[in-house]
Structures are given as structure tokens and as C-alpha cells.
Structure 1
């Protein structure tokens, strides 16, 4: 079992803890700015700045990781990130421009723990089956981050205020990064040799196609979160705001468990296309449920279905990158995937917010994102996709 292998549990747990600020900070920033300036629109804008800046900076951070390793890159980044989060309430109390500048700097210094972890797997797990299982577990932990982070932030802000949520995010981020960076695999990191063929542009046809795939899934999930708010308003049930993404993530968790045990025979592209097609079809399950069950209890339960296929898509993408990324540029390749998901999520949130007044704006956009995912998967070159069988 892959969890019994040395360093696996520590790296997974520490990375998950260290990544909690990714999900906590945007929510805490919205609450902080709203309480200090009274403007939800300003709070939402500055919160989005954090998410988008963190996503757009990923390829540069990945390039640095490949060249210098996690200790020299994520160590200083984690310290600066934590210090900036602690100073953010003071900056927000001074002026909105100061808050925006502090949020931007925090996003730029956030350590690239996710890309670093995925670049470490081939160094500590030699069997293809073990690497596949580790990636599935990695995807599961990512889902748990985006369930736990907002819930923890909301609870802390309700009891102690958003300043407390930012403080806890700073502590958790620093502690998680320390857990990763003091591990043997991180400390013994040696840059892989960089072949001449790997020195050019990385975002070529195969990686560009995968970036497009995850941009589509990100658009779908970003729009889903806004749709959850619409459902909560329509049913006068605030709990739906958190329940909808939580059930989606539960479906993704179930899909991760199933994938960890068995992947059907076939290449990565076959799994990617099948998962994308299933995702496109699955999004109509909650849409139809919402149409026929205005009370939305059935709609919430139906959200687990697209979550199942979301795992198939994301796992296929990561496994393809693991097999195809040239030596010395794996962290950078994974960073492009993180950028795609984050940018798509921001785009979906913005579009859904802009179309929220339209009755079909929220429900249809997730299906549109899934359609874009399928279209991008179909265009992924077949000859570039390695076989995923262990």
C-alpha cells in the first residue's frame, strides 16, 4: 500500500495543511474588507486578486522549483507569506490600496507546495502503480483543502473575527511548509539534468491541451459556487452555499477511492476523454434535479455525480504530465495545471456573478465548462498520451 511507503503520509498531510491558506485567505479577505470598508464588492474584488495572482504566478514558481528545489524556494516564500497575512489586517485598516498590495504580495510569496509535491513523487516512488495511487490521494487531499478551508474560516470569523482566521491561516501555512521542507526528500532534492530538448517552450501542443482541459473544469467549479449561493437565496437556506460544493467534493473523494483501486485498461487519453464526456453528461443530473425539485435536497445530492467524473479528468491529466514532462521541468509543468484550474475557477466565478440576474446564468455555466473540458480533451493528441496501466 502506498501509504506505508516512507515519507508519503508526512508529505501528503503537511502539504494539505500548508495549502489550507489557498482556500482560507480569499474568504477571510472578503470578510475582512467587508467589515472594515462595508463594501462586499470591494471585498470580493480583493479576494479574487489573491486567487488570480496565486494562479498566474505558478509557472514562474515551478521554474524556480525545478532549478533550486523546494527548500530554497518554498522556505523563504512560506516565511514571507505568513508575515504578510499577519500584517494584512493592519494594511486593510489603513487603506484599500494597502490591502490590495498586501494581498497581491501574499499571493506572490505563497509557497508552491502542490507543484513541489507532485514533482517529488517520482523521486520517492519507483513503481508506476504507486505513483498513480499517490496522485489519486493527492487529488483527494486537494478536495479536502477546499472543503475544510472555507468552513474553518467561517467558524473562526464568526467567533473571533476575520483577523483570527488570517492568523490561523498564517500559522497553518507556515507549519505545513515546515513539515514538507524538513522532510528527507525535500532536503535531499537535487535538480534533474535539463536536456537540450527541454530548454525551449514548455507550453506546446500536449501541455496546452491539458491546460485547456483544466481551465474548463475550473470554470465549471467556479460557476458552481455562485450557483450554490443562488440556490441558497431561492430556498432561503444559507447552508446550501457550503453544502453544494461539499457534496461535489464528496463525490470527487468517492471517485478518488475507486480510482486508487482500479483504472480500466486503456491509455491516458482514453480515460481523459471518457471522464470528460461523463462530466459533461453528469452536470445535467443536478440541473434536471433543480428543475423538478425546487426544494433542492435532491439537487444537492445529485452534485456528487459530476464530482465522480471530475476526479477521472484531473487524475488523467496529472498522470499524463507525470509521464511526458521532460526531466528538469516537471514542477513547471504541474504549475501550468494549477494556473489553469485557478484561472478557470476565477473566470467561472466572474461570469456566474455577472449573469446571476439571469435565471439560467448559474445552472448553465457549469455545463458549459464541462463542454469546454470535453472539447479540449477530444483535441488532445493521441500519440502524446502514455499508457496508464501499472
Structure 2
């Protein structure tokens, strides 16, 4: 359990926190073992609650990566068209993007456990019902269930990132956010593989049940930890919540374009695989991007004194865009796989800087909702990038590869233009 400090009033030996968010973090942060703040990145996982929370959240977030494939395969097994399956998957994703900020606002006014547990029950129930519904005969019912499953997705990712400021010393926020960003690649690699394996070994219906089980199990693991049951004492002072922060709006705008790169890269991988008649490339190229993210996140976490997010984000964003430029060149498969690692090297650092900035720029009492908005706009950008790259796929490799490059360039431009708004206290 987290024990609040005896007093929130700074003394002469304790400097006053620079921001209201820092004051909340200081009052809730547990005491760390001596020398922890000077130790390497591994010590973060030894900080109380960090490893169990990270592991539970990764399990609880598996449905986000499993559901799109499971829903598509379930629709096909019911002899529904691919278009119907795609609509169901899109409804799930869109509902999740809408539901996360709404649930995040409720978390900021109560606790993560109080919101996530009933949400997991509703989402899990919708997945289970969807497993027995005939998508071809009852497409409307299947659509409603997909929307409910998405809307009620437990806000574990946003909740966890809001908790880092309460659990980890500010000087090490870049490390824990980099670790978090790199670890989430496990979700997007393992999720589709797990869904496909369950579909092949059992049935698409059981894959949807597996989504319900994973979401519930991960939520229970997180809710059992003390930090998830700590009630925030802060309250938002404006009805817009975190959107009242101009700096956060700049970050969200850039994050939409960042999401475009991720959605477009998936289409680029499929298009490249089809062009070379090598289906395995459709999975290997995203895996190479994820590998790069793991490497980049690990390297970023080892930095002892990183730049502040307002300065680091434009630089990392520019490097991210430059790395995508390499993918414009027609290359043999082995070189394309290697080139796909390059933008991944800046993916986790970009996310780490973005969430550090998001936490600092959010008005007091809106940290969870702010993180949820960041997650939501990245998801919306992914959907837009997938749609845009799909339209350009007919014009060849260079046209398709131009979409993620353009998204990354626009994200970097937005960060450069708004860098003063991103300056943190």
C-alpha cells in the first residue's frame, strides 16, 4: 500500500514541488531503498508495485491487440463477408478511442480499481456474448456488442501511466516511461499471435473468450495492488479537463500524425509482402519495427540526464521521420527488414517523451484522462493512416511508403512549431 506523507507542506529542508502535479506525486510516492535513484534501470522494476503493475497491465491490454483479428476471423467463420468483419473491428477500435478519455476522467475522480473492475466485467461479458452471436445472421447485434466491448475497455494503460508519477522519482520518469513504451511492444507482437493460435487450435469464438479472460485477469492483477486503490485528492478546475492545457493540445495534434505512421506501416508491410509474393514479410516487418522499439526504449532508459521533453520531442520526432525516409527506396527483403528497425529505434523514445510531457502538462487532477486522450488520438491516427495507405497502395511501394513518412514529418513539424508550449515548469 502507498502511505501518504504526513504533511503536504514543504519544509525548509524539502524544496517545494514546481507544479501541482508534482505536489500530488510527492505526497503519494513510496519511500525508495537507499541508492535506488542512482542505480541502473533495473532498479525500477524492484521499486514497490512497479513490476506487478506493469505485468498485470500488459496482460489486461492483450485484448486490444487480439480483438481485431479475433473479430475478423469470427465473422468469417460465421460466413459473413470480410467487409462485415472489418466494420466490427473498426467499431471496436473507435469505441475504445471514445471510451478511454471518458473512463479516464472518472478514474481521476475516484480510483483506477473502482473503474477498471466493472469495466472489465462489461467488456468481458460483451466479448463472451459476441463469441456465441452469429455475425452473418445478426450483424446489428454483433456491432452493438463490439461497441460495448470497446467502450468498456478498462483504462489500464492510461491509469498505469498516471501512476508512474506517484511511484517513481521525477528524475527517473524518462526511464520508467521508456520501459513502459518498450514493454508494450510485447502486447502488439503477442496479441495477434495468441489470437491466431487460439483460432487455429480451437475456434474464433474461443479467441473472443480469451480476450475476455485476459482483460479480466490483467485488471484483477492491477486492481489488487495498493496504488490502484488510492483516491486522488485533486479535482479538475475546468470542464475541459486536460484539454484546457494548450501545450497538451499541441502534443495531441502531433500524436495524431504519429499514429498515422503506425497504421500506415501495417499496410506498407502487407503491400510489400504481396509485391514480393512473400506472405511472411507482412508479419516480419512489423516485428522488426517492434524490435527497434525495444532496442531504442532500452537505450533511452539508460540515459542518466535526458533532455527535457519539450526539447527532446522535436529532435526525436525529426529522427523518426528521417528513418522512415529510408523505406521509400525499393529494396530487397533482407534490406527492408533491416530498414524497418530504424524508425522503431525512435518509437519508444518518442512515446516515453510524449507521456512524460503529457503527465507534466496535464492540469492537476487530470493525469489519467490526459494519458487516455493521448492513447485515443494515437489510435485515431492509426485508423486514418491505415485508410490513407490503403488508398495509396494501388500506386506502388513509394506512394505507400510516403504515407508514414508524411505522418512522421507532420508530427515533427507540429512539435517544432509548438515547442514553446511544450516547455515544462
User: Could you tell me the TM-score, scaled by structure 2's length?
Assistant: 0.86
Q: Deviations over 1:54-87 (max 9, x none)?
A: 0122211111110121122111000111111111
Q: How does 1:64-213 map to 2 (within 5 A)?
A: 64-93=106-135, 94-125=137-168, 127-187=169-229, 189-194=230-235, 196=237, 198=238, 200-203=240-243, 204-213=245-254
**Alpha-carbon shift at residue 35 of structure 1 (Å):** 2.2
Structure 1 residue 227 and structure 2 residue 227: aligned? no
Larger Cα-atom Rg:
2
Q: Distance in 2 between matches of 1:246 and 1:232?
A: 14
Task: Give the match's secondary structure for 2:119.
Answer: helix
Change over 3 Å in CA distance of 1:383–1:107 after alignment to 2: closer
Change over 3 Å in CA distance of 1:303–1:167 after alignment to 2: same
Structure 1 residue 13 and structure 2 residue 55: aligned? yes
Q: Distance in 1 between matches of 2:247 and 2:264?
A: 26
Bigger shift: 349-358 or 77-86? 349-358
Q: How does 1:242-257 map to 2 (within 5 A)?
A: 242-257=283-298
**Alpha-carbon shift at residue 383 of structure 1 (Å):** 5.1
Q: Distance in 2 between matches of 1:351 and 1:213?
A: 17
Q: Deviations over 1:222-258 (max 9, x none)?
A: 0110111111111221111111111101101101100
Structure 1 segments unaligned to the other structure (5+ residues)? none
**Alpha-carbon shift at residue 98 of structure 1 (Å):** 1.2
Q: Distance in 2 between matches of 1:312 and 1:261?
A: 11
Q: Deviations over 1:78-112 (max 9, x none)?
A: 01111111110222344111111110010011100
Alignment-derived partner of residue 385 in structure 1: 423
CA RMSD of aligned residues (A): 1.6
Task: Give the match's secondary structure for 1:382.
Answer: coil
**Alpha-carbon shift at residue 200 of structure 1 (Å):** 4.5
Task: Give the match's secondary structure for 2:64.
Answer: helix
Alignment-derived partner of residue 17 in structure 2: none
Q: How does 1:269-284 map to 2 (within 5 A)?
A: 269-284=310-325
Q: Distance in 2 between matches of 1:193 and 1:38?
A: 49
The alignment covers a number of residue pairs equal to: 380
Q: Distance in 1 between matches of 2:252 and 2:73?
A: 31
Contact 2:293 2:346 in 1 (8 A): yes
Alignment-derived partner of residue 368 in structure 1: 406
Alignment-derived partner of residue 379 in structure 2: 342
Structure 1 residue 354 and structure 2 residue 400: aligned? no
Q: Deviations over 1:353-375 (max 9, x none)?
A: 22322214421111111111111
Change over 3 Å in CA distance of 1:365–1:264 after alignment to 2: farther
Q: Distance in 1 between matches of 2:349 and 2:256?
A: 15
Q: Deviations over 1:32-65 (max 9, x none)?
A: 1122134112211211111121012221111111
Q: Distance in 2 between matches of 1:217 and 1:256?
A: 17
More helix, by proportion: 1
Structure 2 segments unaligned to the other structure (5+ residues)? 1-42
Alignment-derived partner of residue 60 in structure 1: 102
Alignment-derived partner of residue 258 in structure 1: 299
Q: Distance in 2 between matches of 1:53 and 1:229?
A: 25
Q: Distance in 2 between matches of 1:273 and 1:372?
A: 11
Structure with greater contact order relative to length (CA < 8 Å, sep ≥ 6): 1
Q: Distance in 2 between matches of 1:116 and 1:195?
A: 16
Task: Give the match's secondary structure for 1:92.
Answer: coil
**Alpha-carbon shift at residue 299 of structure 1 (Å):** 0.3
User: Could you tell me the TM-score, scaled by structure 1's length?
Assistant: 0.93
Q: Distance in 2 between matches of 1:163 and 1:192?
A: 43
**Alpha-carbon shift at residue 319 of structure 1 (Å):** 0.7
Q: Distance in 1 between matches of 2:87 and 2:232?
A: 38
Bigger shift: 276-285 or 150-159? 150-159
Task: Give the match's secondary structure for 1:49.
Answer: helix
